[in-house]
Amino acid sequence: MDITRRGFFLISTGLLSSILIKDNAHGKEGRYATLIDISKCDGCCGEPIPRCVLVCREQNKARFPEPKKPIHPYWPRKTYEDWSDKKGMINTLTPYNWIFVQKVTVDGKDIFIPRRCMHCDNPPCVRGCPFGALTKRPQGNSVINESLCFGGAKCRDVCPWHIPQRQAGVGIYLHILPKYAGGGVMYKCDLCKDRIEKGEEPACVVACRDRLKDKAVFTFGERINIYELARKRVREQGLFLYGDRQNGGTSTIYLSEIPFDAIEKALASKKERFQMPYEVRNKIQTTFNPIGKVVITSGFLSIAGAVVSAIISKNREKGGDEDARKD
Ligand code: SF4
Ligand code: SF4
Ligand code: SF4
């Protein structure tokens, strides 16, 4: 057991402050946005891995989970989510793959859709996490704090696109109540938070542009300019827009020559793991209960505090016994 009294204090202050800060983040749009023009994406045909996917994996590999095995399910569950033997999977979202290129055929035409977190304006994942492990940053990105996440997957439940992915056998729950609380840690795209904080573009944006030059699929920049550009192209070229109003608005907007309701139907008919619903309501606006969250978090902190204190006392007694034996 390597959790200390100081560690517990840091965790609890993190949890409580994130509850307070997070709810002030309601409705903030953030500085940046990404435009993804799927009429330009060919899925990197001819290349072994789409470049956006490859570079994301490279960029984030140091943060990928290394679960302790054997992994045990926590009560009352009988199963757990373990992707660690499928690290090479690139055609879906996993804790080891934060963007994928979804292929779908509409009216005989193949379409390639890069899929990753939409970075919603009012993200239900951020507001719904009972432990305050997610934050909405001023840059517009929603970010999971892996050291606070218990892997309960509430963020995935409330996400209209089911983006965050869970890996069991890692995370803070292993140090507190491994048999009774938590299921691992959730992982997803954070919009290359370290890069954008330094004023750089996300790695996937750069990788696509390196290949396609001025025909690149992604355009990243100040949100106001990105939205203006997208709307101009809708007006002038008759393209269709997605993500500007879904879930109350997002920082990831798509342009397409094919209507998004047709894309939605095509994905639904294939029963794809990741859908693209056209009408997306923000679930948290109807289900969010800040009082409930404080109660859950306070209750959890009390239990965790008692467990940590008991462990510290036990370790002290053990240390005392050992000291006595040395004497
Ligand atoms: S978005 Fe760009 S890098 Fe990604 S698959 Fe499409 S063309 Fe390739
Ligand atoms: S797409 Fe899902 S995971 Fe991403 S910010 Fe929106 S609700 Fe959260
Ligand atoms: S923005 Fe960064 S973390 Fe997100 S998909 Fe692109 S490369 Fe991956």
Q: DSSP states of 43-92 as a string?
A: TTTTSSS-HHHHHHHHHHGGGS----SS--PPTT-S-----TT-TT--SS
Q: Is 326 a member of any domain?
A: no
Element (H, E) at 225: helix 223-237
CB 198 within 8 A of CB 218: no
- The CATH number assigned to the domain holding 264 equals 3.30.70.20
CA distance 157 to 141: 19
Q: What pLDDT is stored for residue 84 in this prediction?
A: 97
Test site for ligand 2: of 98, 125, 242, 251, most ligand atoms within 8 A of the Cβ: 125
Q: Is 124 a member of any domain?
A: yes
Q: Which residues of 142-157 are buried (b: 16+ CB within 10 A; e: fewer)?
A: bbbbbebbbbbbbbbe
Give the three-class secondary structure for 314: helix
Number of folded domains in the chain?
1
Q: What pLDDT is stored for residue 49 in this prediction?
A: 98
Q: Is 327 a member of any domain?
A: no
Q: Measured from the CB, is residue 101 less than 6 Å from ligand 1? A: yes
* The two structure tokens encoding residue 183: 């299921």
* The two structure tokens encoding residue 187: 């992982």
What separation in Å is there between the alpha carbon of 159 and the centre of ligand 2?
Answer: 5
Q: Measured from the CB, is residue 202 less than 6 Å from ligand 3? A: yes
What separation in Å is there between the alpha carbon of 48 and the centre of ligand 2?
Answer: 28
CB 140 within 8 A of CB 32: yes
What separation in Å is there between the alpha carbon of 101 and the centre of ligand 1?
Answer: 8
Q: What pLDDT is stored for residue 173 in this prediction?
A: 83
Q: What pLDDT is stored for residue 74 in this prediction?
A: 75
59 CA: nearest ligand 3 atom: 7
Question: Considering only CA atoms, which residue is closest to atom 4 of ligand 1?
Answer: 52
What separation in Å is there between the alpha carbon of 118 and the centre of ligand 2?
Answer: 6
CA distance 247 to 120: 7
What separation in Å is there between the alpha carbon of 250 and the centre of ligand 2?
Answer: 9
> Is the CA virtual torsion 252, 257, 263, 264 positive or negative?
positive
- pLDDT values of the chain reduced to their tens digit, one per residue, 327 residues: 344 444 444 455 445 444 444 443 444 689 999 999 999 999 999 999 999 999 999 999 999 999 988 898 877 778 899 999 999 999 999 999 999 999 999 999 999 999 999 999 999 999 999 999 999 999 999 999 999 999 999 999 999 999 999 999 999 888 887 776 668 999 999 999 999 999 999 999 999 999 999 999 999 999 999 999 999 999 999 999 999 999 999 999 999 999 999 999 999 999 999 999 999 988 776 554 454 454 455 555 555 554 444 444 444 444 444 443 333
* Domain that includes residue 26, residue range: 5-319
Report the phi/psi class of residue 224: left, alpha or beta, with left for phi > 0 and alpha for psi in -120 to 50.
Answer: alpha
Q: Measured from the CB, is residue 50 less than 6 Å from ligand 1? A: yes
Three state DSSP letters for 147-199:
CCCCCCCHHHHHCCCCCCEEECCCCCHHHHCCCCCCCCEEECCCCCHHHHHCC
Question: Considering only CA atoms, which residue is closest to atom 4 of ligand 2?
Answer: 117
What separation in Å is there between the alpha carbon of 60 and the centre of ligand 3?
Answer: 8
What separation in Å is there between the alpha carbon of 207 and the centre of ligand 1?
Answer: 8
CA distance 308 to 101: 44
Report the phi/psi class of residue 178: left, alpha or beta, with left for phi > 0 and alpha for psi in -120 to 50.
Answer: alpha
Q: Is 115 a member of any domain?
A: yes
247 CA: nearest ligand 2 atom: 6
Q: What pLDDT is stored for residue 259 in this prediction?
A: 98
Q: Is 324 a member of any domain?
A: no
Q: Measured from the CB, is residue 116 less than 6 Å from ligand 3? A: yes
Q: What pLDDT is stored for residue 176 in this prediction?
A: 83
Q: DSSP states of 267-311 as a string?
A: HHHTT-SS---SS---THHHH--HHHHHHHHHHHHHHHHHHHHHH
217 bridge partner residues: none
CA distance 92 to 272: 10
Q: Is 208 a member of any domain?
A: yes
Q: What pLDDT is stored for residue 324 in this prediction?
A: 37
Q: Which ligand is nearest to the CA of 118?
A: 2
Q: What pLDDT is stored for residue 4 in this prediction?
A: 46
